[in-house]
Structure 1
Amino acid sequence: MRDQDYLRLLSGRYPTLRAAAAEIIHLRAIEQLPKGTEYFFSDLHGENEAFIYLLRSSSGIIRDKIRETFGHFISEAEEIQLANLIYFPDRVIRKMRADGEFTEDYQKIAIYRLVRIAKVVSSKYTRRKVFKKVPQDFADIIDELLNVDENDANKKDYFDEIVRTIIATGITENFIQDLCRLIQNLTIDNLHILGDIYDRGPRADLIMDELMHFHDVDIQWGNHDIAWMGAYCGNRALICDVVRMAISYNSFDILEDGYGINLRPLSMFAAKVYGDDPCSRFLPHEWDRNVYDAVDSALAAKMHKAVSIIQFKLEGQIIHRHPEYRMDGRSMLEQVDYEKGTVRSMGRTYEMKDMNLPTVDPKDPLRLTAEEEELLRTLEFSFRHSRLLGRHIDFFYTNGSIYKVCNGNLLYHGCIPMEKDGSFESMNFGGQAYAGRALMDRVQSVVQNAYYLPEDDPGKGECVDFLWYLQCGPKSPVFGKDHLASFEHYFVDDAAPKKEKMNAYYDLNGKPEICEKILKEFGLPVAGSHIINGHVPVRRKDGESPVKAGGKFYIIDGGLSKAYQQKTGIAGYTLIYNSWHLMLAEHRPFDPASENTPRLKVVEEMPARVMIGDTDIGRQMEQKIEDLQELVAAYRNGTIKENNRTGDRN
């Protein structure tokens, strides 16, 4: 029985019995509609062109809808043109205008076809929900077109006249663009990003812009995302880390053109300190070419080495501040024997292949020089005062989490740390051990505190430091390895210390009983639930499968990043969950000049069609219906009086 005070508050929104009853009817009807389609992406790694194409094309589903709707009535060339119009309407229309092809006849045909597709993809939504997604300038017109039967003789002239008038008033281009955006929004109801939007690829900032304009998106933070979040929060080691990664993958555009990070002081410092050093071990990868900020590779190598050495100093300082991290052996500049030219790593000694370290004092290797301190102040100022980066990080915090439970699925980027025997690995915070879900919740709290605590709060610095641990620490659930071998990759030729040992979780996650244990830990039923994971690329060309544990476990990092595609043989996965089935879209390496339709494969059929009433939203609706039923009863027995003067709710 609801508290009377609560029912009185509810009566403010539903002031009459009729208003409350009407809402019950509305909610009951919605429960019987099919659930919306959810899309799961992982490890985007800055590949903006590929991701935006996949998002706007719904990983090939829109092309399927066109084929299903028009069949053999239009040619394959017309199919492709219509699909590209839906994905990139401004680009296609601009080209057609230049070629003299954007004629009145084409405009009429395009509008008719787009309306047909919009009707198909909107069919499982309420008219009210579709109307909310319609761009407002043409909301009434689009609503009419979507809900008029143009085959009805009484309405055909009405429909045709609307289209003729759109063309005659010269608003066709804007109208088509709005129709295309509506189709995109209706095809994907919910978008889940399982981490690592940043690093390696050229323009993660453009991906963030696209996500911020999407209607319903959530993010499960990855280790590379945590690095950027920490950089914005003022963690200097992570500032150096994200700069180092951008230089390493030749992605200056995101720093300078994207976020306005001032790299000139770094370039001047690096040129001065490493003037005669070729820094050949620090030459950037050539995965992508910068469009706006081309940097000479020799200078880039010097900048890369300079910021790396500063990062290793700062990491050592964090390790000293936090003995509870138990990472003494990873303060790498303190593991170097500067007389012998060797370094201690993972219990063994190796020859250093580069001993030109002019800013490192062998007697105090973690001490920053005055020039390095000044450089760090400049970089920190740039990061903390970048308005665009601030908006993107705020979006990460307001729409992100370390994990998410949604419609029977458990989503996270890295791992649930485990011991070899299958028990959950624990981590201490303030003398208390946390493991499993409790560890994930505790990590979530610390990450939030790093951003939301006031600058003068004595605990904020500890939380900001912990973001560095999350990015590379051995018990971090978003990292999942025993060490990060960046130093060894730069300075050691032997392969052994570069091998990063994965957490036991990655050997165990293919076992059904382990997946069931994890699902139960997060309050999910074993039957019908799934774990959806990213972080580790699936080597498809070596026969690895993204589906494990008899369909309980999906790992969907298939190598969208160009840096991984030689290993995986593909270019990533999209997992698609609609009312009928789970489907995997397997993507080919993106080529803007060719057709990029992925291979679609149904991997699990639902026992019965999943309706909105079966989802998390449906359960919330059911609770609201119970509340409204009590309100109706209160109106009927006079416990609460109706307010007829307010009028029925529309």
Structure 2
Amino acid sequence: MTQKKYFDLLAKEFENSGEIITELINLEAILNLPKGTELYLSDIHGEYPAFDHILRTGAGNLRGKISECFGDTLSETEKDAFSLLVAYPKEILKDPNFFPEKNHQWYEKTILKLIRLLTYAASKYTRSKVRKALPKNYTYIVEELLYTDISLNEKETYYQEILTRLIELGEAPAFIVEVSTSIQRLVLDHLHIVGDLFDRGPNADKIMDRLMSYHSLDIQWGNHDILWLGAHAGSEACLLTLLRIAARYNYLYELESAYSLNLRPLFLFAEDTYQKNAGFAPKARKEGKAFQPESDERLEKVHQALTILQFKLEGQIIQRRPEFQMADRLLLDKIDLETNQLQLTDQSHPLIHACFQTVSADQPYQLSEEEKYVVQSLMHSFQHSEKLQRHMKFLLAKGSMYLVYNNHLLYHGCIPLNEDGRFMELKIDGVFYFGKSLLEEFEKKIRQSSLSPAVHDDLATDLIWYSWVGKASPLFGRSAMTTFERYFIEDKQTHKEISNPYYQLRNTEKTCQMILTHFGLDSLDSKIINGHTPVKVTKGESPIKASGKLFVIDGGLSKAYQETTGIAGYSLLNNSFGFQIVTHQPFHSIPQLLEERRDRTYLKKVIDAKVKRTLIKETTIGASIQEQCQVLTELLSYLKEKNR
């Protein structure tokens, strides 16, 4: 398209030159506003209540805004109570004990405080952006309360009349709920999910629903997310793995219900084929979920079926992809099925919890006809779940292997390195990839495979599985995944998984700066935000690495990790003044919060505080706005020349 045609088409978007000038002035003004607050979260692992709490409270940012807004006019106790009201308005308004006297005076006082806080939270946004955050049912009323100067005598009566009628009409509770939700939205401008939304916890579907309605976010895929994308793309090994994890962590029934999966063929096959086996008992759930003994026994059998199916399907991939160099993970053919002994390297190991009745000595990786039917039915059910497909399409649309945003680098796992600190290479289709190109090639293959979900054995789909378990995968970062050994061998020496050298080398500024430079980030202020590996606080580990060049924000939001980490996760806030690391304590329940009347789940620590605030013009969004300004300036010049 010629420049003339482009400008002629663009001009049709505006009524006249005045509209173009107005838009240009508006955009240029936006560039000089302070940047909004970003929240970085990783490794959510299906823990919806804790995740929802973090979003409602802005990872403690809401309480901070209240302190800044009200100063000494409210006591600390009053600030705590008000913070909980904004975070959980419906629950608190229903609670007869939290604010026992909910009369006209209380509603008026509360609404005035909410409007004051909303005004403060909205102060660094344009009026048009604030309007988008306001409740649709009450936009006019909120704007009148926001922008009316009650210091003027003639306006004070008008203002008071709005409040009085709102309360008299019984709209105050709904108004409080809607305005509180708007404040929550303005407290966090943008959300970064640095991987692992799925697995280990029971409510990934609720997390995805929440994200799909969130106003501004991006996602960097984690290794557990890749399992789900792989299953969506037709990888049978990925599907059987995610179902096995669900059985192991005791949320298979929730998964079945949430996504309307048909697991009946699996359950019937497992019931007919396997026996009770304590080694496959589902993990106890901390929230007190309990099934009848026969239900636990049924899960033990299903767990065994899924495990053996996974190992068979993985073996098929390894055999057809010798370029993956994973022959050492072919273990079913090394079992003596008569003695239940496994020959591993130069040592023979007795196998515990054996359940190899469907494994053939001649063709150990071949599925029986019954197993083929089970796998096919599971795949059909998974790929035809309407809700699940919506979630996977959203994950593809909002996700990527890495992201450069506001001069920072975000990725979930690692940048695979050799021991000498050089980038580790992986050969794909005859071409060697490393670092940035490796992540981009994996992303390309993931998107390519999703276009042909009926095919399960092509290279692109097999590479999705490799990204879950492969030595050179940037989402795995270990020498091998010893799942088989953990199930069947008692000797814990065989369970060890050697981490990629990256995890030691990332502690040095030199390595972090090398990686940042490789991704085109030469600024001394650039950081790496990393998830994937739980930070073991109880052993003195810090989430801040390489003198502040890298943050690891997987502190253990998943309940499965909390005994090891000692906390309930880290998150990272970045506002116009710099970074704050937030340490989260376990979230138990909303009733407990209301009983304690304060939120004790977070502790913020300032990492760097800038003297000069970061403006929007210095951000990724700012760069896009500046391009728009340049185009509009050129359009104005073109129209002036055209109209001469």
Same fold (TM over 0.5): yes
Asked if 1:321 corresponds to 2:320, the answer is yes
Q: Which residue of 1 aligns with 2:620?
A: 616
- 1:494 corresponds to which residue? 491
Q: Does structure 1 retain, via aligned residues, the 8 Å contact 2:414–2:502?
A: yes
Q: Which amino acid aligns with 2:568?
A: A
> What is the alpha-carbon distance in structure 2 between the residues aligned to residue 460 and residue 528 of structure 1?
44
Who is 1:584 aligned against?
A: 581
Structure 2: which 5+ runs fail to align? 594-598
Q: 1:378 — aligned with what?
A: 377
| Aligned counterparts of 1:102 and 1:262: Cα–Cα separation in 2 | 48
Q: Does 1:557 align with 2:559?
A: no
Q: 1:292 to 1:123 in 2, by over 3 A?
A: farther
CA distance in 1, matches of 2:165, 2:457: 60
- Opposite residue 83 of structure 1, the aligned amino acid is S
Partner of 2:606: 602
Q: Give SS of 1:24's match.
A: helix
Could you tell me whether the CA contact under 8 Å between 2:218 and 2:398 is conserved in 1? Answer: yes
Tell me which residue corresponds to 1:283. 281
Indicate whether 1:143 and 2:143 are aligned.
yes
Q: Distance in 1 between the 2:536 and 2:542 partners?
A: 8
The reply on whether 1:45 has 2:45 as its aligned counterpart is yes
Q: TM-score, structure 1 length as denominator? A: 0.93
1:256 match: 256
Q: Structure 1 residues 264, 484: CA separation in 2 closer, same or farther (over 3 Å shift)?
A: same
Give the corresponding residue for 1:504.
501
CA contact (8 A) 1:450 1:460 kept: no
Instruction: Assess if the C-alpha contact under 8 Å between 2:234 and 2:454 holds in 1.
Output: no
SS in structure 2 of the partner of residue 287 of structure 1: coil
Residue 628 of structure 1 is matched in structure 2 by 632
* Displacement after TM superposition at 1:289 (Å): 5.0
In structure 1, stretches of 5+ residues that fail to align are: 643-650
- Matched residues in 2 for 1:356 and 1:617: separation? 55
AA partner of residue 36 (structure 1): G
Matches within 5 A, 1:348-387: 348-387=347-386
The letter of the residue matching 1:116 is R
The CA deviation string for residues 167-217 of structure 1, in whole angstroms up to 9 with x for no partner, is 222222322221111111101111000101111112111111111111011
Which 10-residue stretch deviates more, 387-396 or 329-338?
A: 329-338
Tell me by how many angstroms 1:292 deviates.
Answer: 9.9
Could you report, residue by residue, the CA deviation over 1:580-629 in whole angstroms, capped at 9, with x for unpaired residues?
A: 11001101111221433411110012252100111111122222222222
**Structure 1 CA distance for aligned equivalents of residues 493 and 453 of structure 2:** 43
**Equivalent residue of 1:231, what SS?**
helix
Question: What SS does the corresponding residue of 2:604 show, helix, strand or coil?
Answer: strand
Deviates more, 1:570-579 or 1:90-99: 90-99
> Do 1:40 and 1:576's aligned partners in 2 also have CA atoms closer than 8 Å?
yes
Cα distance in structure 2, aligned partners of 1:321 and 1:127? 59
> For the residues of structure 1 that align with 2:552 and 2:627, how far apart are their CA atoms?
34
Contact 1:575 1:585 in 2 (8 A): yes
The alpha carbon displacement at 1:329 in A equals: 1.6
Letter in 1 for 2:643: K
Task: Give the partner amino acid of 2:493.
Answer: A
Residues 295-317 of structure 1, C-alpha deviations (whole Å, 9 max, x = no match): 72222112111110111111111
The 5 A counterparts of 1:414-433 are 414-433=413-432
Give the CA deviation at 1:562: 1.2
What is the letter of the counterpart of residue 145 of structure 2?
Answer: L
- Which residue in the other structure is 2:596 paired with? none
- 1:60 paired residue number: 60
| Structure 1 position 335, deviation (Å) | 2.6
- Output the CA distance in 2 between the equivalents of 1:342 and 1:151: 85
Equivalent-residue separation in structure 2 for 1:402 and 1:303 (angstroms): 33
The alpha carbon displacement at 1:107 in A equals 2.2
Q: CA deviation at 1:476?
A: 0.9
Corresponding residue number in structure 2 for 1:190: 190
Query: Is the Cα contact below 8 Å between 1:42 and 1:535 reproduced in 2?
Result: yes
SS in 1 for 2:427: strand
**CA distance, structure 1, for counterparts of residue 91 and residue 11 of structure 2:** 50
Give the TM-score normalised by the residue count of structure 2.
0.94
Q: Counterpart amino acid of 1:498?
A: H
Give the 3-state SS of the residue equivalent to 2:458 in structure 1: helix
Distance 2:621 2:291 in 1: 46
* Structure 1 residues 285 and 152: alpha-carbon distance in aligned structure 2, compared to 1, 3 A threshold: farther
Q: After TM superposition, give the deviation of residue 288 of structure 1 in Å.
A: 3.9
Shift, 1:346, TM fit: 6.2
Match of residue 472 from structure 1: 469
State the Cα deviation string for residues 324-363 of structure 1 (Å, max 9, x = none): 1111121221232324422244665422123342111122
SS of the counterpart of 2:95?
Answer: helix
User: Are 1:221 and 1:401, in contact at CA under 8 Å, matched by a contact in 2?
Assistant: yes
Contact 2:131 2:139 survives alignment (8 Å): yes
Question: Which secondary structure does the structure 2 equivalent of 1:57 belong to?
Answer: helix
Q: How does 1:405-554 map to 2 (within 5 A)?
A: 405-453=404-452, 455=454, 461-554=458-551
| Structure 2 residue matching 1:609: 3-state secondary structure | coil
CA distance in 2, matches of 1:68, 1:393: 40
d(CA) in 1 for partners of 2:342 and 2:9? Answer: 68
Determine helix, strand or coil for the equivalent of 2:608.
Answer: strand
- Partners of 2:153 and 2:36 lie apart in 1 by 33
1:286 positional shift: 1.1
CA deviation string 1:433-476 (max 9, x = no partner):
111111111111001111124747xx983322221111111111
Taking only aligned residues, the RMSD between alpha carbons, in angstroms, comes to 2.2
Separation in structure 1 between the aligned mates of residue 109 and residue 457 of structure 2, nearest angstrom: 59
Pair 1:331-2:330 in alignment: yes
- 1:383 match: secondary structure: helix
Match of 1:400 in 2: 399
Other structure's SS at 2:365 match = coil
Q: Is the 8 A contact 2:235 2:461 kept in 1?
A: yes
Structure 1 window deviating more from structure 2 (619-628 vs 533-542): it is 619-628
Conservation of the 8 A alpha-carbon contact between 2:304 and 2:355? no
